[in-house]
Structure 1
Amino acid sequence: MSIQNLIEIKVKEGFLALYNIEIPTVEFQGTRKEFEGDITVVVFPLLRYKKGNPVQIGEDLGKYIVDNITEITNYNVVKGFLNLVVADTFYVDFFNSIYANASYGFVSPQENEKAIMVEYSSPNTNKPLHLGHVRNNLLGYSVAEILKASGKKVYKTQIINDRGIHICKSMLAWEKFGNGETPESTGLKGDKLVGNYYVKFDQEYKKEISQLISEGKTEEEAKKQAPIIIEAQQMLLKWEAGDEHVVSLWKEMNSWVYKGFDVTYKNMGVDFDMLYYESNTYLLGKDFVAQGIEKGVFYKKEDGSVWCDLTEDGLDEKIVLRSDGTAVYMTQDIGTAIQRVKDYTDVGGMVYTVGNEQDYHFQVLFLILKKLGFDWANQLHHLSYGMVDLPSGKMKSREGTVVDADDLMIEMTSTAEEISEELGKLDGYSDVEKQDLHKKIGLGALKYFVLKVDPKKRILFDPKSSVDFQGNTGPFIQYTYARIQSIIRKADFDYSKAVIIELHEKEKELLKQLELFPEIIQHSAANYSPALIANYTYDLVKEFNSFYQNVSILGEEDKNKKTFRVQLAKKVADTIKLTFSLLGIEVPERM
């Protein structure tokens, strides 16, 4: 049990014993540097349950805690803040209990507990992954890993949007202008090749629109009557009818894209347990619409379309079936969610990693699934995230102005190389070692920059500033990890056992930070926020560097102190490696 949990129990117990009042929660904060203490109970919130002088209430609680917790040796009250002094022996015993635990902070999944399915990426097969997909993938992957570390069983999945008019646009442009070229003949990744034809379609479409407008058509008429868009619409109808030629072309071009995606995912360091394809799921959900009509969840209009009236829930009316009987996206998502629970019967909740422009869609989806009577619908979460902007402005995939994910990762590696060479940090490395390290630093910088920000916030991404060896960056934390590895390599003595009673204040501060780790994992999982893990790691590293600058480690003459400090440094490094694994970031042994 953490010292905070122990104090919380005793504060509640003390409040009941002293005032005969039960309190639901206790608020804590770190003790300010100018006061004596290690952890502070904030008294002010307790005044809502017990009127009185906050200083006197703090004094009453402080005396009760010191009398009832042997690990608390003293206290002081400053206004409405009860500062508690924790015995060194508590932190030493705590450290000894975690030192040999390689997965400290991680919780194993409980038997028979329901699994969580985390969906992320979910690209279209008409273009490569771009910067927006990078944030999506990094968030989804990291949240899945954090949920696993918190004790949940997790399935990682994506639904690939492999059908529709946008796919046909690429196919048609390739047929008309491709001259049979392939990824092999061009040397291009398949997703890039297909993406080029999506851009080509838009260029030709705009030419035809301009031509029709010059002939007297309105812009709206021109957009509908342009021959190339009509051809694309006809191709989609042929695909839906199972036309042999169109389906064969669709399969071939999609196969090119999948191979390209696989390369990108591997380089990005993300993976999936199963894949769903919209071509297999777009008809799902229609049966449940019929059931929903019987239950009164949906109703049919005179034109035959089916709707869900959510006005009493503060939303609007939502169509779930068109008048011609075809499904809409909402219908597909209803059916896909239900199908996933059929496929994986131990799934009891889902996390959808999708940009915040879809907030309303998921609000409606979750509400409809609840109304249909699915218990697991209460465990659905939309991991909504803000857009990623660049100094150059907004991206548009139709115009070919997106920042390609592959190109971005290459740029990050190059930026890491450039800055590393400027700083002269890699003297004595072979070219292969340098290349490997540049990639770790570059991708680490990218991932950390994206994940340290609360998912809901918009990001302005600057590749150069993310690769900085100072401040709240991935490379700064990686460098600290490598520094600790250097200390460990130089420790040419047996540091397996140490006997410590009194702690240096910097050792104590570092131990306090380590004690927070299990709680941070649980808090991060509960909030679906890798940012909490990222910023915890930065705080841990800052605390270590303060420790490193203020105490001697290998130069310490006292053998017990030297041994303990090497152990402490090693545990900090182990924890950095664990936290960064949750963010999908590698740590270099040398830097």
Structure 2
Amino acid sequence: MDFIIEAVIKAVKDLYQTDIDANAVNLQETRKEFDGQVTVVTFPFTKVSRKGPEQTGTEIGEYLKANVQEIASFNVIKGFLNISIADSYWLAQLNNTILTDDFAVAKPNGKKVMVEYSSPNTNKPLHLGHIRNNLLGFSLSEILAAAGYDVVKANLVNDRGIHICKSMLAWQQFGNGETPQSSGLKGDHLAGKYYVWFDKAYKQQITELIEEGQTEEEAKKNAPLIKQAQEMLQKWEAGDDEVISLWKTMNGWVYEGFAETYKALGVSFDKYYYESDTYLLGKDIVEEGLQKGVFFKKEDGSVWIDLTEDGLDQKLVLRADGTSVYITQDLGTAQLKFNDYHMDESIYVVGNEQDYHFKVLFLILDKLGKSWAKGLYHLSYGMVDLPSGKMKSREGTVVDADDLMADMYDTAKEQTDAAGKVEGLSEEEKNTLYHTIGMGALKYFLLKVDPKKRLLFDPNESVDFQGHTGPFIQYTHARIKSVLAKAGYAGVISTTVNELDGVERDLIVNLTKFPGTIAEAAKSHSPALIANYIYEVAKNYNKFYHEKSISQAETEELKKFRMQLSAATANVIKRGMKLLGIAVPERM
């Protein structure tokens, strides 16, 4: 609303002989209980008007109505000037902006951003927590691209370490040569099966050692399985041919399994990094930090950084034996990513249990003088629970991503059939619809909540066609397409409607907010803003649909206008849902 800001600046100049800048004009959306679409806060102008806020608001309102043709009327409530903008302005917005091909298409801003998400371990399949991670990362990438950024979607795969060796060792000892082909299991599920087996066998050994007189701590260290896993890790790091061969084989199974899950989930990546390639990185940065005096060495040879003055603690960055810790690797990988892409911003999509780690990582890079450290951002998200409780992967009670997606398909099928929304569809069309609705329900439910908040995912609630859900929005889109088909809509047409009803105006006003919502979602790294905006658009449209007939409109011009408005709404819903990674059906 730049024209209102400019008009208020001119009003203050002419009325009170005072120059103000744009920052002094505070515009807000008018509260629903008052008439108007835009509210000007008048309190800041009372100093120059030397009058009360209501009189000041009235004077500015009268000036604007007399001098700005787009302003139809105003009202003042205490210190708030509520402005009603003329229908001609909103109609022009619909015809000249909202209905154009480049509506809400941001021009490239010249900035590059990397979004790193997923980051799976190759010892188990993806689970519900990974689903939220992947959906947040992919959706944020889509939003940033829509806001004009050049986006790189990256995945750092955790493919080495003691946890990977546990799956490998268990397969060696208990697998009898089992493969994905022989078992019928996806490769990631097969690896996860043996990770669980290792844990069960390891616990049994601990129990036996405790019964023999060892303490629990001693038993955990002395159990044969953990010693064998540690030995296997040492062999891997030494490049032992047999261990490396097994590692490559099992990881290959897992990658094939991940690829299936990613495809079903509808996410993708531009660049893969692997911990097996990056775990030794960072030692040069440690040496650099020592030379700069950022790090210090203790008597045992270990290297640390003292962050106590920053409200944190001392942090180990290199062990006394010269081996890396997680922060060492992350320092090196951060440098590698910047060397590869020279991005302006690097976003890490990682759960909030790693908040402290990323505070330390970013602070160290800043203290090392890395110019790009200011562009590092941790998109910290809360965990996802199911009504049955928290997930525990080592105990084999993890909520598997593939199983959950299959359950969502079944839930969508059951509720869609019950609602009678599949009449006239072929079996193939029905299956596609069930998948579209099931995935839409899952994705929308996880993305509509602010990323920082923990959430409870209820599959049945997520597929409610009447609730704050993805299927409600999908059904609204299908409804619009059906209405347009019945009305014979064939594309953009000119209309000469001059006046708007309240529900029509409200819908247009809401559609104009799409570009600003994209920009704000990109700025705040929150797909929830898009999700909730599209829900409001869908609600607006359903109110319009129930109150105003399209095919039975009073005049042909009014029918054309309402078709245009419906088509514009369908386009915004489709594009907004696409930013969430959600497809919308043409019919249901």
Task: Identify the TM-score tier after normalising by the shorter chain.
Answer: over 0.9
Contact 2:98 2:512 in 1 (8 A): no
Query: Paired residue for 2:221?
Result: 224
Query: Paired residue for 1:304?
Result: 301
Contact 1:21 1:49 in 2 (8 A): no
The alpha-carbon deviation at position 246 of structure 1 amounts to 0.3
2:15 maps to 1:20? no
Query: Paired residue for 2:504?
Result: 507
The alpha-carbon deviation at position 49 of structure 1 amounts to 8.9
The alpha-carbon deviation at position 492 of structure 1 amounts to 2.4
Query: Paired residue for 1:281?
Result: 278
The alpha-carbon deviation at position 14 of structure 1 amounts to 3.8
TM superposition score normalised by structure 2? 0.96
Per-residue CA deviations over 1:527-565 (Å, capped at 9, x if unaligned) read 000000000001111111111111111111311110010
User: Which one of the candidate residues 316, 321, 324 is aligned to 1:324?
Assistant: 321
Unaligned runs of 5+ in 2: none
The alpha-carbon deviation at position 494 of structure 1 amounts to 5.6
Contact 2:27 2:38 in 1 (8 A): yes
Judged with a 3 Å threshold, the aligned counterparts in structure 2 of structure 1 residues 13 and 226 are, in CA distance, closer, same or farther, namely farther
Contact 1:355 1:385 in 2 (8 A): yes
The alpha-carbon deviation at position 237 of structure 1 amounts to 0.4
Query: Paired residue for 1:464?
Result: 460
Query: Paired residue for 1:123?
Result: 120
> Percentage identity across aligned positions?
58
2:356 maps to 1:360? yes
2:392 maps to 1:396? yes
The alpha-carbon deviation at position 213 of structure 1 amounts to 0.6
Query: Paired residue for 2:419?
Result: 423
Contact 1:299 1:306 in 2 (8 A): yes
Query: Paired residue for 1:485?
Result: 481
Per-residue CA deviations over 1:132-151 (Å, capped at 9, x if unaligned) read 00000000000010000001
Look up the equivalent residue of 1:473 and give its one-letter code: T
2:287 maps to 1:290? yes
Look up the equivalent residue of 1:81 and give its one-letter code: F
- After TM superposition, the structure 1 = structure 2 runs for residues 419-458 of structure 1, keeping only pairs within 5 Å, are 419-458=415-454
Distance in 1 (CA, whole Å) between partners of 2:8 and 2:38 is 13
2:381 maps to 1:385? yes
Judged with a 3 Å threshold, the aligned counterparts in structure 2 of structure 1 residues 340 and 430 are, in CA distance, closer, same or farther, namely same
User: Which one of the candidate residues 511, 527, 531 is aligned to 1:530?
Assistant: 527
Query: Paired residue for 1:96?
Result: 95
Contact 1:116 1:351 in 2 (8 A): yes
Unaligned runs of 5+ in 1: none
Query: Paired residue for 1:517?
Result: 514
Q: Which moved more, 1:302-311 or 1:382-391?
A: 302-311
Contact 2:117 2:154 in 1 (8 A): yes
Distance in 1 (CA, whole Å) between partners of 2:561 and 2:288 is 66
RMSD: 1.7
Per-residue CA deviations over 1:308-366 (Å, capped at 9, x if unaligned) read 11222222111111111111111111111111111123x12100000001111111111
Distance in 2 (CA, whole Å) between partners of 1:580 and 1:410 is 21
Query: Paired residue for 2:63?
Result: 64
Judged with a 3 Å threshold, the aligned counterparts in structure 2 of structure 1 residues 463 and 283 are, in CA distance, closer, same or farther, namely same
Distance in 2 (CA, whole Å) between partners of 1:93 and 1:42 is 26
The alpha-carbon deviation at position 79 of structure 1 amounts to 1.3
Q: Which runs of 4+ in 1 moved over 4 A?
A: 44-52
Look up the equivalent residue of 2:30 and give its one-letter code: T
Contact 1:478 1:588 in 2 (8 A): yes
Distance in 2 (CA, whole Å) between partners of 1:12 and 1:99 is 28
Contact 1:158 1:272 in 2 (8 A): yes
Judged with a 3 Å threshold, the aligned counterparts in structure 2 of structure 1 residues 125 and 498 are, in CA distance, closer, same or farther, namely same
Look up the equivalent residue of 1:579 and give its one-letter code: G
Q: Which moved more, 1:547-556 or 1:440-449?
A: 547-556
Contact 1:58 1:81 in 2 (8 A): yes
Look up the equivalent residue of 1:416 and give its one-letter code: A
Query: Paired residue for 2:153?
Result: 156
Per-residue CA deviations over 1:148-185 (Å, capped at 9, x if unaligned) read 00010000001000000000000000000000010000
2:207 maps to 1:237? no
Query: Paired residue for 2:79?
Result: 80
Distance in 2 (CA, whole Å) between partners of 1:512 and 1:577 is 18
Distance in 2 (CA, whole Å) between partners of 1:541 and 1:179 is 55
Distance in 2 (CA, whole Å) between partners of 1:322 and 1:436 is 53
Contact 2:487 2:550 in 1 (8 A): no
